[in-house]
Amino acid sequence: AQSVAQPEDQVNVAEGNPLTVKCTYSVSGNPYLFWYVQYPNRGLQFLLKYITGDNLVKGSYGFEAEFNKSQTSFHLKKPSALVSDSALYFCAVRDRTDSWGKFQFGAGTQVVVTP
């Protein structure tokens, strides 16, 4: 069975410091990998996705993520965090063998960026 793990319930970082949100997965074969962010009282917003090709994917708001096949990880990163990055972040995977591509989500990581 496929699964997604976000090992940290919360990540605290000072504004201007690097931000990393971890995600590991267990899916047969090579999955499609996504990151979404949820700001308070808003829906999930798409940040970036890995489909194929370059392991480093760049997305919205200065975020990037690196696909590491050997470690089955897809960590989200931002070189310099902003207070406005404080939100709930979800990692999601889709099994390439699933005909209709439903998402498997992690439990989410709350990011708190302090001024």
Closest to other proteins by CB, 11 vs 81, is 11
Biggest CA-to-CA distance, the chain = 45
Q: Are 89 and 109 in contact (CB under 8 A)?
A: yes
DSSP 97: T
Check residue 102 for interaction with other proteins (CB under 8 A): yes
Q: How many helices (H) and strands (E) does the chain have?
A: 0, 12
> Segment 82-101, which members bind other proteins (CB under 8 A)?
90, 92, 94, 96, 98-101
Stretch that binds other proteins, among 11-19, 20-28, 60-68, 102-110 (CB under 8 A): 102-110
Q: Which residues bind other proteins (CB under 8 A)?
A: 4, 32, 34, 36, 41-46, 49, 51, 90, 92, 94, 96, 98-108
